[in-house]
Amino acid sequence: MSIFNKIKNIFSKEEEYKEDLNIYEEGLEKTRDEFVSKLSILGVKYTKISDEFYDELEEILISADIGVNTVIKFVDELKSRVKKENIENFEYLKEVIVDELFMIYVSDDILSSKLNIIPSTLNVVLFVGVNGVGKTTSIAKIGNKLIKEGKKVMFIAGDTFRAGAVNQLKEWSDKVGAVFYGDDRTDPSAVIYDGLIKAKEENIDVVLIDTAGRLQNKSNLMKELEKMNKVISEIVPNNPCETLLVIDATTGQNGISQAKSFKEITNITGIILTKLDGTAKGGIVLAIRETVNIPVKFVGLGEKETDLVPFDIEKYIYGLFKEF
């Protein structure tokens, strides 16, 4: 049985997955309508698997923002499997295509979308990314989720550069019920230092830190992040426990470039992909994994606070290909 059929069998029988599956199905609708419909037409257009078939398949995958290098590697793997298994039936080939896309992401690794949070101790999560990608909103949504799980959460306003950033984070902290720390100083590391001292005094479980979204001058940003990391590790050893890069899925390949750049200047442990519901190019999930080898931890599949969900490759594959 193919991987995709196994996934379908699991989800079709278990009521507990229904709510999450609905979020994935609705959030991936644009990509599914554009991407899967084109793939389905291939089976009608071609009576046999030919070079022309593979060329058109490549174009469809690239248009879904899976990325040129990833697509070339994928098609080579697919050709090899078709030849080895002597595949001629297109219905079976569709299952093989989904299986191979699944393997691009999994790549023999044990992946987890869970935050590396240790109970009964202070945990620090640093959020990085360029301006406008949804960092502050992501902090609010993740903070809201942690608070509902019974954790005491603090937001620290480490974005001292953008006008209004401190107030915006303060408003979110009030809305979701998080403790807030921020002031009008321009040195983010000084703000983070005092905020973490306060977090220890107040027995906070998880601190979520916002940072400025500058990438134009990489050397300056690297120094700033190094200083922040040093301050964090001095006050809370072995932290930050996570450094999450926030990327706007609608920016496509520009998001991949951002991932490469941030990976060069700091240790990124996971990616938050916002606005995945707003693009027809949801293949960016696979491209990011293949290109920078960093797991996607959360995906934004709607506007509501509950629509930033832990990423699950099986639910993603199901949501994308359920009508394939």
pLDDT at 14: 60
What's residue 214's pLDDT? 80
Q: What is the pLDDT of residue 110?
A: 61
> Quick one: pLDDT at residue 112?
72
Element (H, E) at 290: helix 284-292
* Residues of the chain predicted below pLDDT 50: none
Tokens of 303: 């506007």
**Same-fold call for 15-106 versus 123-311:** no
pLDDT score of 217: 78
- The pTM score is 0.92
| Amino acid 310: pLDDT | 92
The CATH code of the domain at 123-311 is 3.40.50.300
What is the domain class of 15-106 according to CATH? mainly alpha
Kind and range of the H or E run holding 248:
strand 242-248
In angstroms, the CA 64 to CA 35 distance is 6
Segment 51-73, tens digit of pLDDT: 999 999 999 998 888 888 889 98
Question: 34 with 60: CB under 8 angstroms?
Answer: no
Contacts of residue 14, defined as CB under 8 A and 6 or more positions apart, other chains included, come to: none
Per-residue model confidence (pLDDT) at position 247: 96
User: CA 285 from chain center: how many Å?
Assistant: 7
What residue spans define the domains of the chain? 15-106, 123-311
The answer, yes or no, to whether the previous bond of 188 is cis (omega within 30 of 0) is no
**Residue 39, pLDDT score:** 86
